[in-house]
Amino acid sequence: MTLKLFILAVLFVISGGAAFSEYFKGHKFLSLLAMAVAIIATFYLFKDIEEDIVRRSAQVEPSLPVVAPPLKQSESLPIKKGDFAAYFQPKQDMFETTATFQARRLQLLQQFNAEVKQRNLDYQAGVLRLNRYNADTQIFAVNLKWQADWVKPFSEHLQNSGSVKIGVKEAKQIYQEGSKKPLFITANLKGDQVNVQGVMVEKGWTYSIETKLLPGQVFTDRLQDGSSGPEMV
């Protein structure tokens, strides 16, 4: 019982008792006043009781549990660190349609490329060395050394030299910070094939490496015919 309810109850008892007491029988005005106070106290007493019941009912109403929304398809897929085969050669589930599988493959490659563009050194494929720079053509001649274990199965098909087009100001800043840079690749899905491109990531920019073989280079998925790894064609 609230304090307000208690006061009203006491007031009701006192005023009601006073209205019908022997003392107030000879004082008609005071008796009517006490009766009026008792009526008002009764009204607010029942009103307060009703409000208290409503409040208690609202507190015990069951609430629906909060359910976390399902992950969107566009969110990152779980990949174990160093498991690059999961990016380039995911396996199609028997309950997965071809269209859904292709969409997942595309998402995996986009996830891989996003890590590369963040210059995540866990995705480094080798070392790039800046050699000569032609300020007129704004082209850096570069040497490429593919060192990562996940790139070794097809490193024999990759070129050891190429070129990178960089503006004069940016090229000077990049070179002054050191001639050796992390070497990466990006990958894109074209049809059923994965095209790869050698890149250098510096100053928040991704620079494509032009070689005779890297642009348009593709990996084909041969898991369906029983082979265990990608093939450079």
Dist CA 63 CA 44 (whole Å)? 31
* pLDDT given for residue 197 in this prediction: 85
For residues 162, 164, 168, 170, the Cα torsion angle rounded to the nearest 10 degrees is -130
* CA atoms in the 13 A half-sphere facing the CB of 160: 3
Q: Which of 49-53, 138-142, 149-153, 206-210 has the lowest mean pLDDT?
A: 49-53
Question: Residue 58 pLDDT more than 60?
Answer: no
Cα–Cα dist 79/86, whole Å: 7
Cα angle 80-84-86, degrees, rounded to a multiple of 5: 70
Q: Which residue has the higher pLDDT, 177 or 31?
A: 177
188-209: pLDDT as tens digits: 888 888 888 899 999 899 999 9
- Please say if the pLDDT value at position 230 is more than 50: no
Segment holding 196, helix H or strand E: strand 193-202
Distances (CA, A) of 119 to 67, 127, 222, 231: 36, 13, 30, 26
Give domain limits for the chain: 3-60, 85-232
Q: How far apart are CA 154 and CA 105, in angstroms?
A: 20
